Chains A and B, each alone.
Chain A
Amino acid sequence: MARTRARKGWHRYLNGVTVSTTAVAIFVLLPIYWLIVTSFKTPGAVGDNPPQYFPNPLSLTNYQVAFSQYTFGRYIVNSAVIAVIATFLVLGIGTIAGYALGRLPMRGKYPILLVLLMISVFPEVAVVAPLYLLLRDIGWLDSYQALVFPYTAFNLPFAIWILRNYMLGIPKEMEETARIDGASPLKTVWSVILPQALPGLFTAGIFTFTACWTEFLMALTFNSSNNYRTIPVGIALFGSQFTVPYGTIFAASVVSVVPIAVLVLVFRKSVVSGLTSGAVKG
């Protein structure tokens, strides 16, 4: 017995899937909406009760304050430098390691992969103190490298996993052909493997960049000087003993989200195919 009651108009869209999807979307998007809306309120209207659901008047004061009163521009530069360098290091090393673990005949591949997996779930807190002492002793506190290297180390395992899985999906004959054609191993990786591993690189790159961009604990611990502060630490330390400038914090947060959002939007197709490779060989 088939129930085929034709639905008309908007009722067509009223079913379990759309309702629950909408509910989840609201749950996820509401805080983001609140973040954006609040950042455009005048500092005085931020704490209004009842709250303004849409800012009136629209104000850019919070943004001006973030960049003028605080050195938010400096934080952006610091974060960008550190995240970009760490990401490139991760991708560079990760590609070579992923290729080796995915493709080259070598002993102990699986123990290595297992150790990598363990490292990637290792709690950061456990190494912050020893790392602090180490960095202090070699005089790297308050510097870019104090964060670049730990970030590289912490994000490398996951990147290696993604890249390795991606490379496993590239037919072996591809390399063998290149070999017979006369390509050296590095040339093969560069002109045959890498172009095909691009989605994997994008995925690993975006994950690494995001992790570096948002990391808080190490950034707070290792770089206490204002000159080397990154965005998350900078935002957290906005304000003074007696005031918490919520408007400014919200504005700065919006600015810091933009690059990530843009990256994901631009590369979203590649990211999806990068994450699902290995599951479905294409």
Chain B
Amino acid sequence: MAPITIDKVTKVYPNGFEAVHELELEVADGEFMVLVGPSGCGKTTALRMVAGLEDISGGTLRIGERVVNDVSSKDRDIAMVFQNYALYPHMTVAENIGFALKLRKLPKAEIKKKVEDAASILGLTEWLDRKPGQLSGGQRQRVAMGRAIVREPSVFLMDEPLSNLDAKLRVQMRAEVARIQRRLGVATLYVTHDQVEAMTMGDRVAVMRAGVLQQCDNPQVLYDHPSNLFVAGFMGSPAMNLFEASLGESASSALVGSQRVALPESLHTTRPALRSYANRPVILGIRPEDLLVEGDSIPTGSDYSPLEGDIELVEALGSELLVHFTTDAHRVEAEGAREADAEGLNAGSLTQGGEGVARVEPRAQLLAGRRVRFMLNPARLHFFDATNGKAITS
């Protein structure tokens, strides 16, 4: 067991493409670190560099105290789970799990014992004599996990291990993988494009985009305080509503489309930097659950501001309603965020104009075609610099 230290690690391909740019990341011993981002953001390349499957062009990679830049995969003491599991089809489950141990020339009895232990942790005991072809997707996934844990490595690497499972199984395995990781307490680097997996599984989540680390923190901090537009748009489903807005005189209000949202004094005490954006354009971010309607609890005497919109579509999910609405404000797309919206909830259908999504209480009386008045808690609003997309936090 050992921490992983990724220090300014860069990957440049021979054709000059820089897949990973000076990545700095530290995975503590026993920590579950999720590397998340849209496809092509360099997360898998980063993982493969840690695995030793990809050369490191620059920077230092340490596992424990040891610099492993030039150490071959097999000597790094790592185990990796691949998206397609890469089970050996001609070997039984037991042989698959025990292959690495056999290569290490452990005595047969010991291999058998370790394989059986791993199988019992994963509930695979009765399948040990089967070939992978006879197993279901979930079972194959478990075998791949078994192959990793049987070796008792100091580091686990997982490359989208749940992507090939159907939705229900994925939710189930999500919890299971996290449970096994906690139980074994091995530093884990887990790559996914699914921000729900990232939120639910990671002790910490590192968001990458175009080879550059955007933000790395625990999931709730990422969600509540995204450091830029990209992270704001990427984390959360449905995605954060982002509108072009301009702050008024002394930044006491924001003009969103033709509507004026009052920004109370309390906001400026927590975020004084907002003052310097007076009379300037910003991007206003509102989480879908921060758009409140009648029926949601709004504290009396609060300084909430209204925002109106026309309801286009109401999706009832049972536990909540997703209200798609339009305003005359201009919607901003966080680049790459939409394609990565794995749940697909707000992908597709409604794309033009200033549409937004609200997540409201399921019994709210809302009908498509009506006008709706949302209440906004100013403290929960997000502001981003319109030129560089950075969050205005201080």
B104 pairs with A173, CB closer than 8 A: no
Q: How many A-B residue pairs lie within 8 Å, measured between CB atoms?
A: 52
Q: Do the beta carbons of B74 and A182 come within 8 Å of each other?
A: yes
Measured in the bound complex, the distance between the Cα atoms of B136 and A272 in whole Å is: 27
Is A183 an interface residue, CB under 8 A from the partner?
yes
Within the complex, which residue of B52, B74, B82, B85 is in contact with A181, where a contact is CB–CB below 8 Å?
A: B74
Contact: A180 with B99, CB < 8 Å?
Answer: no
Contact A180-B73, Cβ < 8 Å, known A173-B82, A187-B103? yes
Q: Are B86 and A183 in contact (CB under 8 A)?
A: no
Q: Does B213 contact A (CB under 8 A)?
A: no
Q: How many residues on the B side are at the interface (Cβ–Cβ under 8 A)?
A: 23
B84 beta carbon closer than 8 Å to chain A: yes
Q: Does A9 contact B (CB under 8 A)?
A: no
Closest B-chain residue to A179, C-beta based?
B73
Residues of B within 8 A of A173 (CB): 82-86
Determine the main DSSP class of A at the interface with B.
helix
CB distance from B118 to the nearest CB of A (A): 14
B73: chain A residues at CB < 8 Å are 176, 179-180
Q: How far is the CB of B102 from chain A (nearest CB, A)?
A: 9
Q: How far is the CA of A192 from the CA of B151 in the complex (A)?
A: 19
Q: How far is the CA of A85 from the CA of B84 in the complex (A)?
A: 39
Q: Which of A159-213 contact B (CB under 8 A)?
A: 171, 173-174, 176-183, 187, 191-192, 195-196
Across the interface, do A181 and B84 meet the contact criterion of CB distance under 8 Å?
A: no
Assembly CA distance A173 to B74 (angstroms): 15
With an 8 Å Cβ cutoff, the count of chain A residues facing the other chain is 16
A174–B103 Cα distance when bound, in Å, is 15
Which among A178, A180, A195, A196 is the interface contact of B78 at CB below 8 angstroms? A180
> Which residues of B (29-74) have their CB < 8 Å from a CB of A?
51-53, 72-74
Bound CA–CA A191/B91 (angstroms):
10
Query: Residue on A with the closest CB to B86?
Result: A173
Q: How far is the CA of A178 from the CA of B82 in the complex (A)?
A: 12
Residues of A within 8 A of B78 (CB): 180
Shortest Cβ gap from A45 to chain B (Å): 53
The answer to whether A196 and B82 touch across the interface, beta carbons within 8 angstroms, is no
Q: How far is the CA of A229 from the CA of B277 in the complex (A)?
A: 96
CB distance from A165 to the nearest CB of B (A): 18
Give the interface of A toward B (CB within 8 A): 171, 173-174, 176-183, 187, 191-192, 195-196
CB<8 Å pairs between A and B, sample of 12 = A173-B86, A176-B80, A176-B86, A177-B147, A179-B74, A180-B73, A180-B78, A181-B151, A182-B103, A195-B88, A196-B88, A196-B90
